[in-house]
Amino acid sequence: MSAAYRLIPQGRHADHLRLNPLISQTVSPYNLRMKAKLKPPPRFQLAMTPTPLEAFALSPDPRSGIEIFIKRDDQTGAELSGNKIRKLEFILYDAVARKTDTIITCGGTQSNHCRAAAAMAARIGLDCELIVKGRKPAVPDGNLLLDTLFGAKIKYITDTEYEANIANLMAKRAVALKKKGKRPYIIPEGASNSLGLWGYFLAGIELKKQLDKAGITVDYIACAVGSGGTYAGLYLASLYLNWPVKVQGFAVCRNTQFFVNRISGFFKRFLTDFDLKLKPVTTNIHIDDQYIGPGYAKIGEKEAKFIKGVAANAGIILDPAYTGKAMLGLFDHIVKGKIQSKSNVVFIHTGGLVSLFPYRKKLSG
């Protein structure tokens, strides 16, 4: 690991909060003083929220005075762990309300979203079909193993097919199921649509209440960006709360312009569908695409060393597809002075523990 990424204990909170949650009490996210009363759509309430907010024990440059906190959305549950369950609570409620019997969704072979969708489908009595990019392994591992245990039907396609045609492939499968008398429901990649955005719109409100309770002012929120829904929900929550915080995303696939366009589309549909009078600004969408590394869900020596270093020095597990790359990007921004000195940063830990196991060769060396 280069000198720039030495994992050095932080100062102010590190000693007395290293093993203790900063704020983890059960609170309602709806009783802040806001400019208009929210009317979220109905949802299943399965995620274990509010998730803890902790002081992170490490910094790439303690002299900067920048302190990092972690919002532990890796602790939303066990089989439902990670950020996707916040979105799926709304989407799957809608699916059941529409008398769906089969959900169709997509992702990588180690998709946290696919695993959470398959688990929740099994829990509420729906069939689940997954279209995943990647080769079928001889023996399933990690999230893919759990997908099979939850009874999901899995179709494997190439990365090229996925990127070029995944929406059409899901639509064609839905048509085929309808011809058989089934009632399918398509869930987009990462559960990112206008319904799914409510998950991180409310998570942003939850986070703000925790910070206010702790008396902490935060200047930046950092998160991985894989489908755009988590970022979009957090940004819209900051507007709703009149919260002057910069939301910094780190792309784990595709490029910056792709996500600016996609997230702008999410804004338009969400505000139209739910009649919220917010005014997002496209130039305030901050997505850095320089930390994708070898590709989506792929890691090289740099990423592997970083993940191992954080685990050994802080007891925090980052995953290869999302949080490992996003935290690496955050550290690089700090070292390069892209984050103002003496700022406070919240890093959204979106989960991914189970997806670590297929990378055992790269991570155990």
| Residue type (1 letter), 17 | L
| Residue type (1 letter), 24 | S
Q: Is the peptide bond before 140 cis (omega within 30 degrees of 0)?
A: no
Gyration radius from the chain CA atoms: 20
Spatial distance between the Cα atoms of 276 and 314, rounded to a whole number of angstroms: 40
Distance of CA 265 to CAs 28, 221, 278, 339, Å?
29, 21, 14, 28
- 125: Cα separation from own chain's centroid: 25
DSSP sequence for 55-111: E-SEES-GGG--EEEEEEGGGS-STT-STHHHHHHHHHHHHHHTT--EEEEEEETT-
Whether 111 is catalytic is: yes
E strand intervals along the chain: 8-9, 53-55, 58-59, 67-72, 102-108, 127-133, 153-157, 184-186, 220-225, 246-251, 286-288, 344-349
Closest CA to 132 of 146, 91, 124, 68: 146
Spatial distance between the Cα atoms of 204 and 116, rounded to a whole number of angstroms: 21
Spatial distance between the Cα atoms of 77 and 49, rounded to a whole number of angstroms: 9
Which one of the listed residues 28, 59, 64, 111 is annotated catalytic?
Answer: 111
- 24: Cα separation from own chain's centroid: 19
- 10: Cα separation from own chain's centroid: 25
End-to-end CA distance of the chain: 14
DSSP sequence for 98-161: TT--EEEEEEETT-HHHHHHHHHHHHHT-EEEEEEESPPPSS--HHHHHHHHTT-EEEEE-HHH
Pair 185, 293: CB distance under 8 Å: no
Catalytic positions, written as ranges: 111
